[in-house]
Amino acid sequence: MDDACEARTPSAGAGQATAPLAFAGPVGLIAGENASSYEELLARVTAALKPADIMEEIWVRDMVDLVWETLRLRRLKASLLAASANEGLYKVLDALDCKGPFQTSRAWLARDPAAVERVEATLESAGMSMDAVMARTLSATMGDIVHIDRMTMAAEARRSAVLREIERYRASFAQRLRGAVDAETIALAPAADAPALEGA
């Protein structure tokens, strides 16, 4: 088929990434995401936190997933604005009483050379720039943008919570370890009233 909107198979690397924790299952990636990039992030975070046991390995996986989710949401927000820019352009052109604002904005989004040139000339003659178009685009997509921002903040908060759990877990383990060492030290220490060795 020659249809420009024909469905395409996912690109190599998209879909699933292999994670060390087999029981946690594969990591779900969406179209446009690369498994090797996720695995690189996982490797670098693992090297930085150096998980000492299975609990810390689980938390590291959680941490990486939340970092990945945050990056994904930021990227998708930018993509949403870019994909919706024709809506903002339409509103700008309509406010300037331009002829055929809907058709022009659609052709501009498709990067039709004539439409791109016409839009640039129109904006310049009105003393505007693409900032005006993107401001209108932001206004048109504000509901979605706010929702994405809230999801991003929630992922960042959960990521911080995971870090706190790791810190508490390590502090508790260190305290238990110190207690065990102190107990062994006390048990091995000679009694104060023990007889002195001959010749000492």
> In the chain, which residue ranges form alpha helices assigned H by DSSP?
35-49, 54-83, 85-95, 101-109, 113-125, 130-140, 142-188
Per-residue pLDDT of the chain (200 residues; tens, 9 = 90+): 455 444 444 444 455 554 567 777 788 899 999 999 999 999 999 999 899 899 999 999 999 999 999 999 999 999 999 999 999 999 999 999 999 999 999 999 999 999 999 999 999 999 999 999 999 999 999 999 999 999 999 999 999 999 999 999 999 877 877 777 766 666 665 555 555 555 54
Reported pTM: 0.76
pLDDT at 8: 46
DSSP H or E stretch at residue 17: strand 16-17
pLDDT at 143: 97
pLDDT at 11: 47
Q: Are 59 and 88 in contact (CB under 8 A)?
A: no
